[in-house]
Structure 1
């Protein structure tokens, strides 16, 4: 930049020659220089003010636009970006086949303490022990007065308990919102539902996870947010389940049994309408598993699915049906029942002496071990194994429960000829009541295999054929005669044509051998016999009927009356009307004119 001198020599000389004051030139130049500097600074300041004004304008525009957007949007609670955001507490409901709630979620609170914030720690511990009797006041005092900065007090509390804690007035006692799993029907269908507990936990939320039953089997499905809370629909009917458990509980007590189970299944679809195991528990307060001893003594043990037992004479119909299907016999074929039947050191006897021979039908009606064993010998071990395998007796049931794989049948290590004979009448092979119900449904529904399920089916699936329709019908006729003429006479329910087979098996000892005075009694039924709709299998563990002069333990005296009462109660609930059995002779009265 060119800088103008304050005292230019040419102008000074010219001013002196003309008689002017040269100092005036310097003052004028100094003034002009100051004015130029002032104009430059003013221009710079005006530019800065303009830029600052533009920035303020843009900021106000952005803030105004955001305020307008917030005013026009739906209000919502802000969410934190911490770890608790990863914990999903949502879980879908479980409902029965009619849409009635079996399991749902309930909003509640947890209670925790922050000892550094507490004022009267010992008083707070005593008050909490008074509100929650299961808490130990001394332990709470140690936790509160120690070095801990966080203490879980209760994972879930009721509104009344929450108010009582509020009334303590302790600032270090805090609450966290969460959801808990609620079973509004208490013990009803406990073994099917299983139960739920808390997984990952935070102060402001907790993950609800299944621990048993369908809750654990479908845990991922129930917690899937993509399903938008769509409930899981089961096959069981809440009303039928309630009646089944009520009658079974009464029968267990009346027959002085240690435990009991019942399975009610649709013979065509395999849908389980009711399934019970006693003793049971409340899934809202699930007990701890046994850490020692016999697990079957625990109320958590599901006898219908996990319990594998020798099911006795209920197996005899399988031998008769297979022999008829193979063309080896027909219902009237005479079988040698002269006993005892000897194989090596083993002797097979009947409960009563039935004479030298019985027809195949009478072998089933009278429940002859000898007759059934001779039929099985004609069938042979290999064909017997193939038939029982086709009915599902070699694998755990595929029912949708995490406990199902533990109910694997117990098979003989060496399937010898004696095994073939004893298994034909239900000894030497142990299976669950659900196995038996599935096999009866497959055999008696017309002869097609069904698979047990707890999920309601939109379409009925037809499985592979097990026996012909003719064989299936003949088997139902035989089982019907067991009720009308044989060992299950107490099982008759007027109007419902009950058909079934009793089974009484000695209970094995844990270390080998059998008890002389302990049995598993079972009654497997199908009704109505002429148009089968449902299969019902009821078992009692160590029953004894004491109304007579001597204790009676056979299924005909113990399990059969309980099953009959159950059918009498549940058949109307299933929509079955009493009807006249086809082929029944009607009384004809001739009136004179």
Structure 2
């Protein structure tokens, strides 16, 4: 037997001899095989479970993040806004006759996507060829930034858009927007107010419109490009234009630093016209926030001078402390508490109530207030709405000022218009109550019917007081010595009261620097409209005099001559009111 055969034989024997007895050996091999299969199956199930759990956790994380993103507020990228907000409409604003005062026009704004701009220097050079007023440094910084969006210029003209399109600059685009347009320019600027660059109201009736819910809707994205119902105002554009013309002319004639006026419906409280000058063009509101562009009629407070004598006399008549026949001693000045009260045009004699009004006697007015008493005086002015803030739609309304403590000297000086500062609109409102039947009606810039006005009107003076005040107003214009004679307009039965108040400069009244006003109504037989005009610090006037009778008074006459026919007031001539026939 060969060596290799012997070795194989030995190995074979050794294999079988190392194993226990046959039956036992076979059983153990089968057990070991079955155990291996079981372990392998268990491991496979564990692995599938782990994989399933892993996928479940991953999907839960992804789902949770999606919910988190859905609940989070949207982020604003650069200065861009959602297109719905950019295109959200504002309602047109109309005058009482349907003339458009403010409307939206479509425009576009220029933007850049810096990541797509190839050469910022070249892009800047081409853009400034169309828009030369672009600020080079800031524009270059935007064009070369790493952001994805930058505004370059808001609200372009169609011509500017077409010229920039023709340049074909990569990364430059246009976004549609809306711009507020005011066809009348500055004519009614202080009433309408203005909007900001995002077409949101920030002053005047534009701000009032937003305060009625438009701004809240825009904030939550519930506005769209749909046409909104127009807002109609009580303003008559024709009367507004005439009033502003007279103010501009008066400023030039009398060299004042400011002027203003209001035309008020005496029975409804509707503001038919309100103007303050200097004003601004809301289409180009560069100077809208300048201090001299203040709405002096409703947002400025002034000592209204002798116009307050109308309220002082009405107070005495209403309380019954005097009648039109009562007399007051004006023969010499009054001395009280170290102060001297004297008359500007002293008559140095005893005056009736009518003469106190016509001659505008400070002494007589002070004695009337003294006869009524401090508490009753303050209560009457409060009743007339002269000591509290007006309630009206225009946001720019100032609160009046008065002494913290009313002393006897305060009551006496307030009687002739020094010591209490009110807004001119407030004075016109109170003046209307003296002639319209005795009803105080808060002014409104929205249409209001006579019936609606009657529901909110408050009776503040007696019918007999109204009758007497109408007579006094009319006498002051028709009598030769009346301070209001230059306001007379033939056929329109004008009445009124002047007010010349020396201005306070650093706490002292300065002679020659006046705030002049004229409070008037027409026709005095049945007053329909109240007109108040004032001019601040005029340097000259008619007959080279800068008092109210020669500045504000003739301005009122010019206003009434122009607006009375527009308002439908029929002129009356002759003693019985019939037309006078003239032969040529």
Q: Provide, for residues 455-481 of structure 1, a one-character-per-residue CA deviation record: whole Å limited to 9, x for no partner.
A: 111433221211122210110110111
Q: Give the whole-Å Cα distance in 1 for the aligned partners of 2:515 and 2:563.
A: 24
1:320 aligns with 2:319: no
Match of 2:49 in 1: none
Q: Is the 8 A contact 1:497 1:581 kept in 2?
A: no
Larger displacement relative to structure 2 (318-327 or 340-349): 318-327
1:374 aligns with 2:373: no
Q: 1:501 aligns to what SS in structure 2?
A: strand
For residues 352 and 138 of structure 1, do their structure 2 counterparts lie closer, same or farther at Cα, with a shift above 3 Å needed? same
Match of 2:178 in 1: 179
Q: Is the 8 A contact 1:275 1:304 kept in 2?
A: yes
Q: Give the whole-Å Cα distance in 1 for the aligned partners of 2:308 and 2:89.
A: 46
* Structure 1: segments with no counterpart, 5+ residues: 1-81, 200-207, 589-593
1:501 aligns with 2:493: no
For residues 584 and 380 of structure 1, do their structure 2 counterparts lie closer, same or farther at Cα, with a shift above 3 Å needed? farther
Match of 2:553 in 1: 560
Q: Give the whole-Å Cα distance in 2 for the aligned partners of 1:210 and 1:144.
A: 31
1:461 aligns with 2:460: no
Match of 2:139 in 1: 140
Pairing 1:442-521 to 2, within 5 Å after superposition: 442-458=433-449, 459-462=451-454, 463-485=457-479, 486-509=482-505, 511-521=506-516
Match of 1:3 in 2: none
Pairing 1:3-42 to 2, within 5 Å after superposition: none
1:430 aligns with 2:421: yes
Q: Provide, for residues 66-113 of structure 1, a one-character-per-residue CA deviation record: whole Å limited to 9, x for no partner.
A: xxxxxxxxxxxxxxxx95456661211111111111111111111001
Q: Is the 8 A contact 1:264 1:536 kept in 2?
A: yes
Q: Is the 8 A contact 1:408 1:431 kept in 2?
A: yes
Q: Is the 8 A contact 1:120 1:170 kept in 2?
A: no
Match of 2:206 in 1: 215
Which of 301, 322, 325 does residue 329 from structure 1 map onto? 322
Larger displacement relative to structure 2 (382-391 or 258-267): 382-391
**How many Å apart are 1:222 and its aligned residue?**
7.1
**How many Å apart are 1:562 and its aligned residue?**
1.1
Q: Is the 8 A contact 1:236 1:454 kept in 2?
A: yes
Q: Give the whole-Å Cα distance in 1 for the aligned partners of 2:579 and 2:193.
A: 50
Q: Provide, for residues 552-590 of structure 1, a one-character-per-residue CA deviation record: whole Å limited to 9, x for no partner.
A: 2100111111111111011111111211376689999xx
CA RMSD of aligned residues (A): 2.3
Q: Is the 8 A contact 1:93 1:222 kept in 2?
A: no
Q: Give the whole-Å Cα distance in 2 for the aligned partners of 1:546 and 1:500.
A: 19
Tell me how many residue pairs correspond in the alignment: 489
Q: 1:438 aligns to what SS in structure 2?
A: helix
Pairing 1:235-246 to 2, within 5 Å after superposition: 235-246=234-245
TM-score normalised by length of structure 2? 0.80
Match of 2:569 in 1: 576
Q: 1:240 aligns to what SS in structure 2?
A: helix
Q: Give the whole-Å Cα distance in 2 for the aligned partners of 1:426 and 1:547.
A: 23
Larger displacement relative to structure 2 (142-151 or 576-585): 576-585
For residues 220 and 317 of structure 1, do their structure 2 counterparts lie closer, same or farther at Cα, with a shift above 3 Å needed? closer
**How many Å apart are 1:173 and its aligned residue?**
1.0
Q: Provide, for residues 517-536 of structure 1, a one-character-per-residue CA deviation record: whole Å limited to 9, x for no partner.
A: 31100000000111100000
Which of 274, 295, 298 does residue 292 from structure 2 map onto? 298
Match of 2:356 in 1: 363
Q: Is the 8 A contact 2:234 2:270 kept in 1?
A: yes
1:420 aligns with 2:411: yes
For residues 149 and 586 of structure 1, do their structure 2 counterparts lie closer, same or farther at Cα, with a shift above 3 Å needed? closer
Q: Provide, for residues 20-73 of structure 1, a one-character-per-residue CA deviation record: whole Å limited to 9, x for no partner.
A: xxxxxxxxxxxxxxxxxxxxxxxxxxxxxxxxxxxxxxxxxxxxxxxxxxxxxx
**How many Å apart are 1:414 and its aligned residue?**
1.2
* Structure 2: segments with no counterpart, 5+ residues: 1-80, 218-222
Q: Is the 8 A contact 2:87 2:177 kept in 1?
A: no
